[in-house]
Amino acid sequence: MHRANALTSGIALARRYNREKAVHVADNDHIPLWGGRFEKTPAAALQEFGASLPVDKRLWAQDIAGSQAHARMLAAQGVLSQQDAELIVTGLDTIAKQITDGDFDFDIVDEDIHMSIERALTEAIGDAGRRLHTGRSRNDQVATDARLYCKQQSIALARQLLKARQTLIAVAEANCSVILPGYTHMQKAQPVLFSHHLLAYSWMLARDFRRMIAARDAADNSPLGAAALAGTSYPLDRQRTASELGFSSVIPNSLDAVSDRDFMLDLIYACTTAMIHLSRLSEELILWSTEEFGFITLDDTYATGSSIMPQKKNPDFAELVRGKAGRVVGDLVGLLTVLKGLPLAYNKDLQEDKEGTFDAIDTLSASLAAITGMLATLRVNADTMLQAAQGGFMAATDLADFLVGTGMPFREAHEVVGRIVLYAEKKQCALQELSLAELSEFSTAFDAAVMDVIDIAAVVARRTTEGGTSPASVEVQLAEARKLIEADERML
């Protein structure tokens, strides 16, 4: 009884899901297009269980483009008449308009977007529609659709990554003199420029951009014409369809063509790494916006309130980005697990490749939009940052370097400054508040020049090594970051 109730509940949930996805659940009154060999059709519950239409219907544009290219190629090869090919192409254009206008009926009995469109085409144009699938399988068809979609989405995400980088650079330039306490182990370490800190994320997203371009390139090979797994006896011109669909080449092995999902792994991995970077940035935005830090103030449009505490301003959207990173990690692990034990060639397991891929794409896109808007509208509290940078004894390393400059070995200088820090800590004051007389009690090597050495702005300005945090070094980084964006724009 318990199992029966669970099954009934599962079917009800599936039907509700399909209704929400605008997919019609039929009463098992249609025979599937593959049904000639069967005397019975699957039960309604199993049709819903086995159907991918609620997920893959978003591939309709790619499916229509692939079918039109296939029809034109069949006509050019003499497999279809020119009249049939023209009917197919025109019929598919009509279906595309119906879908765009919201007038297309997605029926769960069709299982997937490919069968759904083919059924509608056949009903509209008759026998010509039945000839479309000549020399083709759903196996190479779905792989073609997925590759086209992943190519397009990789480019769209790469553009969003560029915009996020441009925003980071703009905020950095607008706050180029702001000093921020830098941390290691979440303890104050050394002062850095706020612009330097933001540029670190710009370089992370630059690497994410390159990974996204690599994902685009990984999808840029055509499986169309591989058929089910072994190719076909029809004289197909795979190069022609690849060229028409914008692929750079064809996949040379038909078994690999229909079973490969590495390109999806590459895309999800690129999404995962980008989400990890956004999650790290979100964590800092969350910390910085607390009363304890107070380094930034989020714009009201990127925060929410509490249902019970009127004073609250919560960084919910940054928290959501941080949380959603875990989902995308799960999408990657999910597909890796699906693929790990599959024999060649196509297996129904591969139906599970799309939902995680689509989720990773959608989640990264929404997260990039949220973070980009958050950065563009936040207020930087420069005075609070500078005040925080005065604490934490962050000039200690420079104090040690001063002693090294007088000839003292670094390890000895390290010990001397450690005792100075302990003294200041017990006195509850900053290093800058110690007098020259107090410092001289720890080493006679100190002279009046040391007071300028421990000034926080001077500490920052001395970090002049390539990639360092001095204003001069950061200006070079800004120029490099802008130049890289220009180069990356040319890759799209």
Using DSSP, state whether 221 is helix, strand or coil: strand
Instruction: Write down the catalytic residue from 185, 233, 307, 435.
Output: 185
CA 75 centroid distance within chain? 40
Write the CB contacts of 401 (distance below 8 Å, at least 6 apart in sequence).
Answer: 413, 453
Instruction: Write down the catalytic residue from 9, 177, 248, 306.
Output: 306
Question: How does DSSP assign 257-284, residue by residue?
Answer: HHH--HHHHHHHHHHHHHHHHHHHHHHH
First to last CA, the chain: 58
CA 473 centroid distance within chain? 30
H helices of 379-491, in order, are: 382-390, 396-405, 410-427, 436-440, 450-453, 456-461, 471-489
306 belongs to the catalytic site: yes
185 belongs to the catalytic site: yes
Rounded CA separation 313/323 (Å) = 18
Rounded CA separation 402/84 (Å) = 85
Write the CB contacts of 258 (distance below 8 Å, at least 6 apart in sequence).
Answer: 137, 139, 140, 143, 223, 226, 227, 228, 229, 345, 346
Number of other residues whose CB lies within 10 A of the CB of residue 190: 20
Number of other residues whose CB lies within 10 A of the CB of residue 277: 21
Rounded CA separation 469/484 (Å) = 19
Using DSSP, state whether 192 is helix, strand or coil: strand
Instruction: Judge residue 132's burial from the number of C-beta atoms within 10 Å of its C-beta, 0-12 exposed, 13-18 middle, 19 or more buried.
Output: buried
Going by the DSSP 8-state scheme, the letter that residue 183 receives in this structure is E
Rounded CA separation 398/413 (Å) = 10
Write the CB contacts of 396 (distance below 8 Å, at least 6 apart in sequence).
Answer: 417, 418, 420, 421, 431
188: phi then psi, degrees, rounded to nearest 5: -55, 135
Question: How does DSSP assign 68-91, residue by residue?
Answer: HHHHHHHHHTTSS-HHHHHHHHHH
Active site amino acids: 185, 306
